[in-house]
Amino acid sequence: MAGKEVPVPLIKLQEQITCAKCFNVFTKPKTLSCLHSFCQQCIEGLATISTLSVACPTCHQHTELPAHARAAGFSVAPQIVELKQMYDSQSVHVKCDICQDNIIASGYCKECNLSICHQCIEKHKDWPHEIKEFDEPLNDRLPVDKEVASHLKTILSAIGGRKAEIREQGEAVKKEIRSLLKSTIEDKFMEEIDEIVARKLQLLEKQKEESLNASGKIEEFHLVEKADIQFIRSNNDSISHHVGRIVSSAGLEECKVKEITAIKHIPKDQAISFELSIESPDDERSLLVLPASSLSLNVVVTPTITKPCQVINARVIPTDKPGVYQVICTPVIRGRHQVNVRALGVQLKLPSSFTIPFNPYDAAPIRVIPGVDNPRGIAVSDDGLIVVSEYKPCIMSIMIKEGKKLKSFSEGAALGFSRNNGLDIMEDSSILVADTDNHRILKISMDGKCDPVGGSRGAGELQFQFPTGVTASPINKHIYVADKNNHRVQVLNYDLKFCPGFGKSGTGNGEFNQPVDVAVDKEGNIYVTDSYNHRIQKFTHDGNYICQFGSQGSGPGQLNYPAGITVDTTGLVFVSECNNHRVSIFTSDGQYVNHFGGKGQNKDQFDSPYVGITFDKDGRLYVCDNLNNRIVVY
């Protein structure tokens, strides 16, 4: 067969069994996971040590090397074996795969997938392998050739399908890349647009705020001018006569400012407002009626050792009441403020004054009173005596403002306190005490004498379940008790007799979940710390629901177990929060103003302040710092 030309069909067959790497007929052919076949030696040359994988030279797909045998461990496609067998059987110069001397092969071992010479065939007979001689009759090979042809068609069909699949995958990858690029570019542009929109909105918001401020000033000016015009139209004759008489008689400077009333806070401007009127010198019942634009005034802070005299400008706005004007100013400190008024350019000789009891925007401790055990109730008499409930030792102590104890009450059957909490001082200097674990309210004189005891344990009339807060209202002569575990507010008269109360367990309006303390404002309205509903509820003096404010949390305006409560003379509501370790401030209608404190032992910090917060007559705030065993004065 050595001298014969290679027939064309054999060349076609050779193309199917030629390695795409070395371009020779397969030697020990192995098939990768992508179904492409190569010589074992070629695969070993392609192996990457770092990744222990082979990249197919045809499709570049990576195939991991078998751990146990590396390239030799790859399988052989049966079609390749049979094609090679067919080629070897018809090849003119098939060499022995075992010998190294280019000896012509004369047979093929199917099990070993090797072409071998006669000498190697003799040696190979030691194994029970089937060896096909190349010189066997062609008829014996025809079934094999047909089978190989059939397999070849299958392979070619698979290759065609694989090509289509690869094309589809390529198109899908391109589509995905386009989508990804589109999304990335779109996101980038959207971010830039969002930034531009945010800047524009911020600028518009600033312009809006400036416009509103300008509008407010214009409206304020408009109100003043409108009031002046209306005033002149309706009182033209009488005003000209009256003012002319006063000015001509030089009596205007003798007018005096009437007592200042209706002091209110304006949280958004950190300002206060109050009403002012001017009395005629010849008749205190007659108010001087002038256009608001003819009045000007300033507020002077009374100087102290540490604070110099300060002058605060104020605005005057007309009201719907003749002779009554609204004044708005921004105080900088607490204390006494003098109001100087000029009317029609004339300085009034007799100015008025008012007291800002507490500046809610600048809360700084004045002093600390140590040496009290778990203080949980406090009140200050008009003569400056401090009365405090000490919860842990179950005593009530009376001390001077510097903190020195004068006396303590705890002895005797009547005064055998058990976990006493809130207290209040009545107009006759009697002390009301919530004797919590004895489920009663005590009325005690300053020298320790006890009036009839009010209450017993239970849920009926004049019965309590762990009362904690108590306050007296001089307006309607009633005593209000926070009946904690009965989830209600009990009402007594000054003789500790039962009056109808209000409230029940729940979360709705007028319902409570362990109310802890109660306070009364100067109009007789009732404020209750609804502790486990984390809110404050406001009622009329007879228990009709008005409003509520606060929600659970630690942010501005939120509450976490509100406990103590008190109201200052301007209507600000002060709430001690046990779990937020701070004091929060609200207006009487629930608008958040400010808060101060925080957990700690520093002078301006608290640890679980409970019931025990009050003002003295000079506007100083006293807070019972429960677990720090002290009283902090502001």
Final residue belonging to a domain, choices 32, 60, 89: 89
CATH number at residue 411: 2.120.10.30
Do 541 and 449 lie in a common domain?
yes
- Say which CATH number the domain at 105 has: 3.30.160
User: Does residue 269 sit within a domain?
Assistant: yes
Do 424 and 532 share a structural domain? yes
In the DSSP assignment, the letter for residue 488 is E
Whether the CB-CB separation of 398 and 612 falls below 8 Å is answered with no
Nearest to 493 by CA among 530, 521, 522, 451: 451
Determine the pLDDT at residue 594.
95
CB 273 within 8 A of CB 327: yes
C-alpha to C-alpha distance for 528 and 479, rounded to whole angstroms:
13
- Give the per-residue SS3 of 52-117: CEEECCCCCCEEECCCCCHHHHCCCCHHHHHHHHHHHHHCCCCECCCCCCCCECCEEECCCCEEEC
Are residues 309 and 403 located together in one domain of the fold?
no
Given the structure tokens 């004054």, which residue do they identify?
353
**Is 226 contained in some domain?**
no
Q: Flag whether 605 is in a domain.
A: yes
Q: For residues 430 and 171, what is the distance between their CA atoms, to the nearest angstrom?
A: 93
Residue with tokens 């067959």: 13
| 422 & 570 share domain | yes
* Positions in the chain whose pLDDT score sits under 70: 1-11, 49-51, 88-94, 100-102, 134-153, 156, 214-251, 282-285, 303-308, 411-415, 452-453
Q: Are 344 and 252 a contacting pair, CB within 8 Å?
A: yes
Distance between the two ends of the chain, CA-based, in angstroms? Answer: 119
CA 633 – CA 363 distance, rounded (Å): 10
The whole-number pLDDT of residue 604 equals: 94
What digits encode the pLDDT tens for the residues 575-599? 999 999 999 999 999 999 999 999 9
Task: Please tell me what DSSP assigns to residue 387.
Answer: E
Residue 14: which CATH number? 3.30.40.10
For residue 520, tell me if it sits in a domain.
yes
Specify the pairing of strand 386-390 against strand 395-399: antiparallel
Range of the domain at 306: 249-356
Pairing of strands 420-425, 405-409: unpaired
> Do 439 and 451 sit in the same domain of this protein?
yes
Same domain, 396 and 346: no
What DSSP state is assigned to residue 559? B
Q: Quick one: 98 and 65 in the same domain? A: no
For residues 370 and 309, the answer to whether their CB atoms sit within 8 Å is no
Same domain, 512 and 405: yes
| Secondary structure of 388-452 as H, E, C letters | EEECCCCEEEEECCCCCEEEEECCCCCCCCCCEEEEEECCCCCEEEEEHHHCEEEEECCCCCECC
Q: Domain end: 106, 138, 170, which one?
A: 138
Question: Is 163 a domain residue?
Answer: no
Q: Are residues 123 and 29 in the same domain?
A: no
83 & 116 share domain: no
Q: Give the pLDDT score at 511.
A: 98
Residue 199 to residue 194: CA distance in whole angstroms: 9
Q: How much is the pLDDT for 467? A: 97
pLDDT for residue 2: 39
Number of independent structural domains in the chain: 4
CA distance 515 to 490: 11
Residue 429 lies in a domain: yes
User: Domain end: 295, 326, 356, which one?
Assistant: 356
pLDDT on residue 405: 92
Tell whether 17 and 113 lie within a shared domain.
Answer: no
Residue 529 near residue 565 (C-beta atoms within 8 A): yes
325 shares its domain with 379: no
Separation between Cα atoms, residue 151 and residue 620, nearest integer Å: 104
Task: Say which residue the tokens 């000490």 belong to.
Answer: 390
